[in-house]
Amino acid sequence: MRYGEVVALTAVRTVQREDGSFAEARESRSVFANPYSMGATAYMAARSAGLKADAEVQLRTCDYRGEQECVMRGTAYDVERAVDGGEFTTLTLKRRLRDG
């Protein structure tokens, strides 16, 4: 299978420092993915299910480790939903509000 994009997936975790305070730790990595354009039917189906879908990407299931953020083509997204379909996982992405 050929891939059309390289996306950056970021895992966000809360860690406790030595002084007892908490901080956000981010770990990013790049994976190969195929972007999907959202048609009107898929967009409306996502809306009716309560999702805010702006984009979808498909990647190999073994490459996805539950990351909450994705950067594709310079645009930052939050992972709204991940659907495991066996060999491939489809991520439904929503654009971050802070990024417009």
**Tens-place pLDDT, residues 12-53:** 999 999 999 999 999 999 999 999 876 666 667 666 766 677
Q: Give φ, ψ of 41 to 5 degrees.
A: -65, -45
Q: What pLDDT was estimated at residue 100? A: 47
Whole-Å CA distances, 91 to 32, 40, 61: 13, 17, 10
CATH number 2.40.10.270 given to 5-99: yes
Q: Where are the domains of the chain?
A: 5-99
Q: What pLDDT was estimated at residue 46? A: 66
The residue type at 18: E
**Tens-place pLDDT, residues 73-100:** 999 999 988 999 889 999 989 887 664 4
